[in-house]
Amino acid sequence: MDANLELVLKVLPALVVILVVAALCGQLALLARQPRVLGEMVAGVLLGPTLFGWLFPAAQKSLFPPEIKPILYVLSTIGLTLYMFLVGAGLDHKASSPAQVRRAGVLAVSGFLPSLALGFGAGLLLYGTLSAGESARWEFALFLGGALSLTAFPMLARILYERGLQNSPIGRLTLLAASVDDAVAWCLLALLTALHLDTGGAGALRTIALTAVFAVVMLKLVAPLLRPLGTRFAATGTFTPTMMYVVVLVPLTAGWLTDWIGVYAVFGGFLAGLAMPRDPRFREALHGRMMEVVSTLLLPVFFTFSGLNTHLDGIAGGAMLLAFLLILAVGFVGKYFGCAVSMRAMGFSWRESYAVGALMNARGLMILIFINIGLAHGMIGQEVFAMLVLVAVITTAGAVPLYQLALPARLEARQPDREDELV
CA distance 153 to 166: 12
Instruction: Please list, residue by residue across 322-343, b when 16 or more beta carbons sit within 10 angstroms of its beta carbon and e when fewer do.
Output: ebbebbbebbbebbbbbbbebb
Nearest CA-CA partner of 340 in 403, 395, 392, 400: 403
CA distance 24 to 49: 19
Domain 79-412 has CATH 2.40.50.140: no
Nearest CA-CA partner of 154 in 76, 89, 109, 102: 89
Q: Where are the domains of the chain?
A: 79-412
127: how many CB neighbours lie within 10 A of its CB? 18
CA distance 143 to 141: 5
CA distance 206 to 210: 6
Nearest CA-CA partner of 332 in 391, 386, 383: 391
Tell me the per-residue pLDDT of 235-288, one tens digit each, with 9 for 90 and over: 888 888 899 999 999 999 999 998 888 777 888 888 899 899 988 889 888 988
Q: Give the pLDDT of the chain (423 residues) as one tens digit per residue.
A: 688 888 888 999 999 999 999 999 999 998 988 888 888 889 999 998 888 988 899 999 999 998 998 999 999 989 889 988 988 887 765 556 677 778 888 998 998 999 999 999 999 999 988 887 777 888 899 999 999 998 877 777 767 766 666 667 777 788 788 877 777 777 777 777 777 766 455 666 777 788 889 989 999 999 999 999 988 988 888 888 899 999 999 999 999 998 888 777 888 888 899 899 988 889 888 988 888 888 888 889 988 988 888 888 767 778 889 999 999 999 999 999 999 999 999 888 899 899 999 989 888 778 888 888 888 888 888 889 989 999 999 998 888 899 889 888 777 665 555 544 444
Q: Please tell me whether the overall predicted TM-score, pTM, comes out greater than 0.85 for this model.
A: no
Long-range contacts: 101-107, Cβ < 8 Å, 24+?
101/176, 103/173, 103/346, 103/422, 104/172, 104/173, 104/176, 104/177, 104/180, 105/177, 105/180, 106/342, 106/346, 107/173, 107/174, 107/177, 107/339, 107/342, 107/343, 107/346, 107/356, 107/360
Q: Check if the beta carbon of residue 301 is closer than 8 Å to that of residue 79.
A: yes
Nearest CA-CA partner of 295 in 85, 151, 92: 85
Tell me the per-residue pLDDT of 191-202, one tens digit each, with 9 for 90 and over: 777 777 664 556
